[in-house]
C-alpha cells in the first residue's frame, strides 16, 4: 500500500479521539492486530486510503479485516492522523 518513504521523510503521528478509543475495547485480539497493521500502513502513506467525500479529501477511511472500517482526519501541516471512528461488525 503506497510508496516507500524517502530517506529523511517522517511518517505521520497517529492519535485516537475519545470516541474512537472507546470503540476498541471488546474487539477480538486478532481484529485489533489487523487494525494496528492497517494503521501502520496509513501512517506511512495516509492518502492511499479512501476519501469520505471529494469536497473533504482529508477525511478518509480504510477497511481492516473483512468487517472493520476506521475513519480518520489527516492534518497534513502537523503530519498528524486523528482516528475518530472505529467500526467493527464482527
- pLDDT tens, position by position, 11-54: 899 999 999 999 999 999 999 999 999 999 999 999 999 999 99
Alpha carbon distance 6, 62 (integer Å): 23
Does the pTM surpass 0.75? The reply is yes
> 58 pLDDT exceeds 60?
yes
- Domain extent listing, the chain: 13-88
Q: Alpha carbon of 88 to those of 2, 47, 75: distances in Å?
A: 24, 22, 24
Is 13-88 CATH 3.40.50.300? no
pLDDT above 60: residue 2: no
Q: What is the pLDDT of residue 9?
A: 59
Amino acid at each position: 500500500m503506497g510508496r516507500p518513504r524517502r530517506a529523511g521523510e517522517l511518517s505521520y503521528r497517529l492519535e485516537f479521539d475519545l470516541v474512537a478509543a472507546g470503540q476498541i475495547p471488546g474487539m477480538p485480539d486478532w481484529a485489533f492486530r489487523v487494525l494496528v497493521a492497517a494503521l501502520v500502513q496509513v501512517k506511512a502513506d495516509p492518502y492511499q486510503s479512501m476519501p469520505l467525500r471529494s469536497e473533504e479529501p482529508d477525511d478518509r477511511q480504510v477497511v481492516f479485516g473483512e468487517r472493520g472500517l476506521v475513519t480518520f482526519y489527516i492534518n497534513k501541516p502537523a503530519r498528524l492522523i486523528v482516528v475518530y471512528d472505529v467500526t467493527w461488525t464482527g
